[in-house]
């Protein structure tokens, strides 16, 4: 940890530096590959929507003894009641969850009785949840509305607190995070539930928080920069990334470790459920959000700012000043070297004169 702290101090003082902005094409290619994979997975496999979004019926059976938990038995029980099981999963060690398309109240009762009979348990130990397609559509509409409102508020906040290029770069990073996170959800086949939506909104806030921290440092480093000629906008922004790098890494590690623990416990011990849905969204979103705040948001910001004529003129002044400084240094070195040669020659002649006089 002390080495990481020393590295952080050196990065903050500018004694060490990583050229994040200069290698932005590499980061863009990496992100493009992940985005292509995510969009392709969404197009081919799609999302595994829960009954809260598509409507349907869900039955949870409390089974006496882990050895009696059997997926095949559950499917046959549902089929014998005249329904089709769209999903059958084992929850924990003594519960099994069955989901079916939307059913009438009469057919739902038959499925409950059939499951209780198949697993030799009481009907009271078979809980059911019926969700109509209208309610599921309303949930989807509210989730989309919440996302749009969030993005609009973020754009307004970044535009007023910073400037519009930062707002555009921040929103681009947010869209990047959402698409990759949703794509990974489609890839692993986890069920999308209201808890997943909450997780998405949470990781958007986390990603925005990390981006705002970096942008705030960029604004501090670039204040009054255009009137000077010591550092270009790109260099000042890259310095801000280096100065906040260790802080971003530490914050991400502290946030990811407990979420990873929750995810592992949910997958290994508890099985599919709300805890897994939330933990996976948080873990992937935080990881991608940290990546985007460093490798995507600030490089995009610099790319936009470098189209500004004032920023281009200031960068030219910086380059010209450095060339002149290098030329002056070379000239001074040559003059100093020449003086040394002349002085050495004079000293040599003096020695020769003294030697000739002493010889006489």
Per-residue pLDDT of the chain (360 residues; tens, 9 = 90+): 556 556 666 666 666 678 888 889 999 999 999 999 999 988 888 887 777 777 788 888 887 655 566 778 888 888 888 887 777 777 766 778 888 887 778 888 888 888 888 878 787 788 887 776 666 677 677 777 877 887 788 888 888 888 888 889 988 998 898 888 888 888 887 777 777 777 777 777 777 888 888 888 888 888 887 777 678 888 888 888 888 888 888 888 888 888 888 777 766 565 555 667 677 778 888 888 888 988 999 999 999 998 988 888 888 888 888 777 655 444 444 345 445 444 554 555 555 655 555 554
Structure tokens at 186: 């489609």
State the Cα–Cα distance between residues 358 and 206, nearest whole angstrom: 87
State the Cα–Cα distance between residues 17 and 29, nearest whole angstrom: 22
Q: pLDDT value at position 311? A: 84
Does the predicted TM-score (pTM) go above 0.75?
A: no
| 3-state DSSP assignment of residue 185 | helix
Q: pLDDT value at position 359? A: 52
State the Cα–Cα distance between residues 24 and 253, nearest whole angstrom: 24
Q: Which parts of the chain fold into alpha helices (H)?
A: 2-13, 24-44, 51-54, 71-80, 105-118, 133-161, 164-188, 194-222, 233-265, 274-292, 298-305, 309-359
- 2-49+135-312 shares its CATH topology with 56-131: no
State the Cα–Cα distance between residues 208 and 181, nearest whole angstrom: 15
| Domain ranges (residues) in the chain | 2-49+135-312, 56-131
> Which CATH architecture describes the domain 56-131?
2-Layer Sandwich (3.30)
| 3-state DSSP assignment of residue 87 | strand
What does CATH list as the number for 2-49+135-312? 1.20.1640.10
> How long a stretch of residues is the chain?
360
DSSP 270: I
């Amino acid at each position: 940890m002390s080495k990481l702290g020393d590295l952080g101090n050196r990065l903050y003082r500018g004694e060490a530096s990583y050229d994040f902005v200069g290698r932005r094409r590499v980061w863009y290619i990496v992100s493009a590959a992940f985005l292509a994979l995510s969009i392709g997975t969404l197009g081919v496999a799609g999302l595994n929507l829960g009954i809260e979004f598509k409507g349907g019926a869900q039955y949870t059976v409390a089974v006496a003894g882990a050895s009696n938990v059997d997926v095949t038995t559950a499917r046959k029980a549902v089929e014998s009641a005249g329904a089709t099981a769209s999903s059958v999963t084992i929850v924990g060690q003594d519960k099994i969850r069955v989901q079916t398309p939307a059913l009438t109240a009469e057919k739902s009762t038959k499925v409950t009785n059939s499951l209780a009979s198949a697993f030799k348990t009481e009907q009271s130990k078979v809980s059911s949840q019926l969700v109509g397609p209208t309610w599921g559509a309303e949930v989807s509409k509210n989730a989309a509305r919440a996302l749009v409102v969030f993005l609009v508020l973020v754009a307004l906040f970044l535009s007023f607190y910073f400037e519009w290029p930062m707002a555009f770069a921040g929103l681009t990073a947010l869209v990047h995070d959402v698409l990759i996170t949703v794509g990974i959800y489609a890839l692993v086949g986890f069920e999308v539930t209201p808890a997943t939506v909450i997780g998405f909104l949470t990781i958007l806030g986390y990603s925005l928080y990390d981006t705002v921290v970096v942008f705030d440092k960029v604004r501090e480093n670039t204040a009054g920069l255009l009137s000077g000629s010591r550092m270009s906008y790109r260099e000042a922004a890259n310095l801000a990334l280096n100065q906040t790098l260790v802080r971003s890494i530490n914050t991400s590690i502290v946030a990811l470790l407990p979420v990873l623990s929750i995810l592992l416990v949910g997958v290994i011990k508890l099985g599919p459920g709300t805890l897994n849905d939330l933990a996976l969204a948080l873990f992937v979103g935080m990881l991608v959000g940290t990546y985007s705040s460093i490798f995507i948001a600030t490089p995009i910001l610099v790319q936009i700012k470098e189209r500004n004529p004032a920023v281009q003129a200031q960068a030219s002044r910086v380059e010209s000043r450095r060339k002149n400084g290098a030329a002056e240094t070379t000239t001074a070195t040559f003059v100093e070297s020449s003086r040394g040669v002349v002085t050495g020659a004079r000293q040599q002649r003096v020695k020769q004169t003294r030697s000739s006089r002493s010889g006489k």
